[in-house]
Amino acid sequence: MCNFFDRFHLCEVRLSFKLKHKGNKKYNMTAVIELHDLTKTYKLGDEVLHALDHVTCTIQAGEFVAITGPSGSGKSTLANIIGGLDRPTSGTVLIDGQDLSHVRDRQLSDYRNHHIGFVFQSFNLQGTQTALENVMLPLVFSRMKSKDRKARAHECLEAVGLGDRLKHRPSQLSGGQRQRVAIARALAAKPSIILADEPTGNLDSARGDEIMKLLKDLNKQGITLIVITHDMSIAKQADRVIQIKDGKVAH
């Protein structure tokens, strides 16, 4: 099965970031993500596992959508395909009208670079590096000068309320602060979509509420937010819930 962190380091970021508050969310009713008749199968010896079984759904630009389902339902596989970390066996993945179902690796990498910011359940921060250095990591392959990457990372950390924790390493931060660093890292390339996989899973309820408030605030600024969760209290905060069961969209 695919894993966000296993493929995250494939991303090379070539974009700039300047966070601006846009006031109340205004939906662009052109679908940013259109998935049609998606299947994903894996062979386990003589057995064929249908991780996704003819899934069709649409996510509008600026929406906050929760993808829910029990363990093994296919929700993480669906998220991996939306994030450009995996490809469907069949079906189409349209992003702003462009079919990514069978593009080359470079084009898929460009899609991740231009559109997606990833947030992981276990934070996935580099323990020996400071908060500032962790947020600078996605920009390491850009053509930006070092001082510009540092300024960009500083701005991202300010945006998530950690402007006073720039030199702290993960071991010196609380769980909630670590996830804030991870969100700042996701914002470094100014993505149009944030894909968060169980973003509160390793946090207590109070810190989890803080992280969800931050993500929802970013969504109100126009970023499409997709949260993968099995926690219905999180899912109920979304504009819409897509429930996956046995590889299918449950109706």
- Give the burial class of 239: count Cβ atoms within 10 A of its Cβ; 0-12 exposed, 13-18 middle, 19 or more buried: middle
**For residue 147, what pLDDT is reported?**
92
**For residue 111, what pLDDT is reported?**
85
Q: Which residues contact 207 (CB under 8 A, 6 or more apart)?
A: 174, 175, 176, 179, 200
Report which residue type is found at 129.
Q
**For residue 245, what pLDDT is reported?**
94
Q: Is the pLDDT of residue 174 over 60?
A: yes
CA dist 229 and 212 (Å) reads: 12
Looking at per-residue confidence, does 141 or 168 come out higher?
168
**For residue 4, what pLDDT is reported?**
41
Q: Quick one: what percent of the chain has pLDDT higher than 70? A: 86
Could you report the per-residue pLDDT of 30-70, keeping only the tens digit for each?
A: 458 999 999 999 998 889 999 999 999 999 999 999 999 99
Whether the predicted model's global pTM rises above the 0.85 cut: no
- Give the burial class of 6: count Cβ atoms within 10 A of its Cβ; 0-12 exposed, 13-18 middle, 19 or more buried: exposed
Backbone φ and ψ of 240, nearest 5°: -155, 150
Our count of domains for the chain comes to: 1
Looking at per-residue confidence, does 25 or 139 come out higher?
139
Looking at per-residue confidence, does 207 or 138 come out higher?
207
Give the model's confidence band at 8: pLDDT under 50 very low, under 70 low, under 90 confident, else very high.
very low
Could you report the per-residue pLDDT of 179-238, keeping only the tens digit for each?
A: 999 999 999 988 899 999 999 999 999 999 999 999 999 999 999 999 999 999 999 999
Looking at per-residue confidence, does 4 or 36 come out higher?
36
In Å, how far from its chain's centre is CA 144? Answer: 23
Q: Residue 204: which CATH number?
A: 3.40.50.300
Host domain of residue 44: 4-249
* Cβ proximity of 76 and 83 under 8 Å: no
Give the model's confidence band at 2: pLDDT under 50 very low, under 70 low, under 90 confident, else very high.
very low
